[in-house]
Amino acid sequence: MARQKVSSRDFIDANGQPVDKIELATGARYALVKRTGGTDDKPEYANEHEFDVQLGEAGKPATMYAIFGAWTKLGNVANSVLNDDKEPGTIDDAADEIAAFIKSVESGVWREAGDGAARGPKYDNDVLGIVLHAILGAAAKGDAASYTARLAADKGYRAKVVARDDIKAAYWVEMSKRGVAKPQASTDSLA
């Protein structure tokens, strides 16, 4: 079975209008799409969420490279949401992440996963349940498996758990025992 199309890309001019040639483009449009009809052999799609970024003067090599870079990065942001192994998101979720990424970049901050932005570090619910159960000790209302199940089922509860510094620290201690190192944020911005 063929993969379902989830996005489209256009070259755009300074007025946000699509152009046929990259040499005429000043920016890029990345759109998340939905299927609107057609057949399995010739499906039809419409843009559901469009993101336009202006990148530079038409015909300049830096602008042309930037267009492809923008498409690649915005596609990576969308794919990190849509293809998450444990909690795949929706097109609307992906659109929210892209919008947040663009807003961050436009304010001068480039966000990467693990830098406390976008989707952040991935936490294994099984390990998180074990750590949470251990931290709760006698106050625990169930075993580690029950906490693992709750973390998987209740995103709000999970968000509260992973927001706690003591739980995150204990989680990474447990992960290090399993041979997994904590992802490190880039220190480039600290130089």
CA distance 34 to 44: 9
Structure tokens, 28 = 């890029």
Confidence band for 115, pLDDT divided at 50, 70 and 90: very low
First to last CA, the chain: 48
* Unique residue bearing structure tokens 């619910």: 125
Most confident option among 23-27, 44-48, 92-96, 145-149: 23-27
- pTM beyond 0.75, yes or no: no
Confidence band for 118, pLDDT divided at 50, 70 and 90: very low
Q: pLDDT higher for 27 or 188?
A: 27
